[in-house]
C-alpha cells in the first residue's frame, strides 16, 4: 500500500503564537540593518524568504543573498532566545495534538511539515508545544527553501525518498493548512488539500480557493483522520 505523506502547515494550523512573530521580525530587522522598521511585509501564508526579501525592499535595501542569509540566521537565533516566550504566549490549536497522534497510529501515514518558517524557527515553535517528536522534520520543506510554497511540495517528497527511502506520489500527498496560499501550494505543487478555518481565512474563502475538503477546526479527531485518508488516493 502506498504511503500517504501528510504535510502540515504550522502557524494557525497546528499552533499560534499571536503577535510574537511580528515582534521578533521587527527586532531582527533593526539588529541586522541598523534602521528603524517602518513596515513589515505581509506574513500571511508567506515564506520567511519572501517576508525577509519584501521587508528589505520596502525600506529600499537590496536583498542580497548574504544579507537575507544573515537576517534568517539572526531571526532563528532570536526565536531560540525567545523560546520561553513562544511557549508562554502561544498555544497549540485545539485538537492538533490529538490529530497528530491519531494519524501517527496509521502505518501508511508519514507526517511532516510544509511551512513558511525557516527550519530552526519551525523546530523552535513545535518544540515549545511538544510536537517536534510527532513529525518527521528531516523530510519537511521550510521557508528558506524557496520564495514560494508550491515547489516545496515536491521537495518534501524528494526528501522523504532520500532520507527515509519512502516513495509516494501527488495522489498520496496531503497538505493541511489554513490559508488560500496553502491550497494554491498543494494544487500547483502536486498535493491534495485539507483546509482548516483556524486562521484568518473563512471556510468560504478556503472552499473558493478549491480545497478538496474544508474543516472548521481540528477538534473532531475522527473527522480529521477521515479527511486526510479520504482525500488521498486509493
pLDDT tens readout for residues 47-80: 999 999 999 999 999 999 999 999 999 999 999 9
**pLDDT at position 178:** 97
What's this model's pTM, rounded to 2 decimal places? Answer: 0.96
Distance CA 13, CA 129 (A): 13
In the chain, which residues have pLDDT < 50?
none
- Please, are residues 84 and 111 in contact by the beta-carbon 8 Å criterion? no
Q: What is the pLDDT of residue 1?
A: 79
The Cα 62–Cα 65 span in angstroms is 9
SS3 51: helix
- What pLDDT, on the 0 to 100 scale, is given for residue 232? 80
pLDDT score at 153: 98
Say how many Å lie between the first and final Cα of the chain, rounded.
Answer: 9
Torsion angle of the four alpha carbons 141, 144, 146, 150, in this order, in degrees rounded to the nearest 10: 40
Amino acid at each position: 500500500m502506498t504511503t500517504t505523506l501528510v504535510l502540515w502547515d504550522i502557524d494557525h494550523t497546528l499552533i499560534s503564537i499571536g503577535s510574537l512573530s511580528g515582534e521578533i521580525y521587527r527586532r531582527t530587522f533593526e539588529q541586522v540593518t541598523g534602521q528603524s522598521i517602518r513596515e513589515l511585509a505581509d506574513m500571511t501564508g508567506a515564506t520567511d524568504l519572501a517576508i525577509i526579501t519584501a521587508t528589505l525592499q520596502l525600506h529600499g535595501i537590496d536583498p542580497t543573498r548574504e544579507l537575507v542569509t544573515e537576517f534568517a540566521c539572526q531571526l532563528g537565533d532570536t526565536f531560540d532566545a525567545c523560546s520561553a516566550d513562544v511557549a508562554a504566549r502561544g498555544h497549540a490549536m485545539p485538537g492538533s495534538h490529538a490529530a497528530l497522534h491519531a494519524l501517527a497510529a496509521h502505518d501508511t501515514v508519514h507526517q511532516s511539515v510544509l511551512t513558511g518558517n525557516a527550519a530552526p524557527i519551525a523546530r523552535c515553535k513545535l518544540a515549545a508545544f511538544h510536537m517536534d517528536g510527532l513529525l518527521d522534520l528531516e523530510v519537511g520543506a521550510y521557508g528558506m527553501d524557496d520564495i514560494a510554497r508550491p515547489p516545496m511540495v515536491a521537495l518534501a517528497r524528494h526528501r522523504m525518498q532520500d532520507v527515509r527511502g519512502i516513495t509516494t506520489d501527488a495522489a498520496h500527498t496531503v497538505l493541511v493548512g489554513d490559508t488560500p496560499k496553502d491550497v494554491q501550494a498543494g494544487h500547483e505543487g502536486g498535493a491534495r488539500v485539507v483546509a482548516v478555518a483556524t486562521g484568518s481565512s473563512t471556510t468560504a474563502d478556503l472552499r473558493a480557493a478549491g480545497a478538496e475538503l474544508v474543516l472548521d477546526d481540528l477538534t473532531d479527531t475522527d473527522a480529521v483522520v477521515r479527511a486526510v485518508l479520504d482525500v488521498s488516493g486509493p
